[in-house]
């Protein structure tokens, strides 16, 4: 019977139906995305993403370091068809207490109520969001990895909730790592060489964020590519178009 024990450990423990999320009308991609966000909200570092489709099941998995130093694996399986999606948490313990399944269910039920948009930190004013896209997010958002050689794709969003136009120039944005070293976005031949072949790379190339004006009460967003690194904050200066005065921001890299 030893082989049966090994099989259970490899596949995970079957989850009682009470913990399975059955969502009529929920699309495959959105079900995968909400599962991803739920694992992140539970403190898991995402290690695997397979986007669900009617032809194949999807998977989102991650790991989490527990207070006692042990590592817990969280994994969910998504199946879907024209009627909707079913999301099933998988327990990694031979004799589970279903803590993961319960936590995932509560989180999923809450997050699925909200749209997949970045919420502003402030109700009004000028705001810059900088998000470094890891390979798992790239698979989910772009359908693949868009850059090569460890270069970092970054999505930048400028929300101008003011009554004045502003100007953004990528040359005035730098990312800073934990050691305090700064880096500027790639350009020219270095940028061209960093973008991978395929749809994900074409998406980034087509939505590169260039120097531009951002009109009053509008939002602009796009991608930049930075040298390899782990970045903690962004420093950027945004200019008032009318006066030419610059406003500096220091914002965390999400």
Where in the chain are the domains? 13-111, 125-252
pLDDT in tens, 107-116: 999 988 887 7
Q: Is 253 helix (H, G, I), strand (E, B) or coil?
A: strand
% of the chain with per-residue pLDDT over 70: 90
Per-residue pLDDT, 6? 42
For residue 126, what pLDDT band results from cuts at 50, 70 and 90?
A: confident
Over residues 32-54, mean pLDDT = 91
Residue 121 reports pLDDT greater than 80: no
**β-pairing verdict for 21-24 and 84-90:** antiparallel
What CATH code is assigned to 13-111?
A: 3.30.310
Please count the other Cβ atoms lying within 10 Å of the Cβ belonging to residue 216: 12
Q: What pTM was computed for the model? A: 0.77
> Long-range contacts: 106-113, Cβ < 8 Å, 24+?
107/38, 107/41, 107/42, 108/21, 108/34, 108/35, 108/38, 109/21, 111/34, 111/37, 111/38, 111/41, 112/23, 112/26, 112/34
Cβ pair 205, 148 in contact under 8 A: no
Over residues 201-205, mean pLDDT = 96
Per the model's pLDDT, the better-predicted residue between 25 and 224 turns out to be: 224
State the DSSP code for 17.
G
pLDDT in tens, 233-246: 999 999 999 888 88
- Domain 125-252 in the same topology as domain 13-111: no
Q: Is 94 helix (H, G, I), strand (E, B) or coil?
A: coil
CATH of the structural domain 125-252, one choice from 3.30.70, 2.70.98, 2.60.40, 3.40.10: 2.60.40
Per-residue pLDDT, 22? 85
> Long-range contacts: 96-105, Cβ < 8 Å, 24+?
96/13, 98/15, 98/16, 98/19, 100/42, 100/72, 100/74, 101/15, 101/16, 101/19, 102/19, 103/42, 104/19, 104/38, 104/39, 104/42, 104/74, 104/76, 105/19, 105/21
pLDDT in tens, 84-101: 999 999 987 776 778 889
């Amino acid at each position: 019977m030893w082989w049966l024990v090994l099989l259970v450990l490899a596949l995970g423990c079957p989850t009682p139906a009470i913990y399975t999320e059955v969502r009529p009308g929920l699309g495959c991609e959105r079900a995968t995305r909400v599962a991803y966000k739920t694992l992140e909200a539970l403190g898991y570092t995402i290690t695997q993403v397979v986007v669900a489709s009617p032809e194949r099941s999807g998977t989102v998995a991650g790991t989490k370091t527990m207070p006692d130093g042990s590592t817990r694996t969280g994994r969910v399986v998504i199946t879907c068809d024209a009627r909707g999606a079913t999301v099933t948490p998988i327990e990694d313990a031979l004799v589970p207490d279903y803590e993961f399944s319960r936590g995932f269910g509560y989180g999923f039920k809450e997050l699925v109520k909200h749209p997949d948009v970045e919420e502003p930190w402030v109700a009004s004013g000028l705001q810059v969001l900088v998000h470094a896209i890891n390979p798992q997010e790239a698979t989910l958002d772009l359908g693949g990895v868009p850059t090569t050689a460890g270069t970092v794709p970054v999505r930048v969003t400028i929300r101008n909730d003011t009554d004045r136009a502003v100007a953004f120039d990528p040359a005035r944005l730098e990312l800073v790592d934990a050691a305090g070293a700064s880096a500027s976005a790639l350009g020219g031949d270095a940028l061209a060489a960093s973008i991978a072949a395929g749809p994900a790379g074409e998406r980034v190339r087509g939505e590169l964020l260039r120097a531009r004006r951002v009109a009053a009460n509008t939002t602009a967003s796009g991608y930049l590519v930075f040298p390899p690194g782990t970045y903690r904050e962004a420093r950027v200066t945004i200019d008032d178009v009318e006066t030419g005065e610059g406003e500096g921001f220091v914002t965390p890299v999400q």
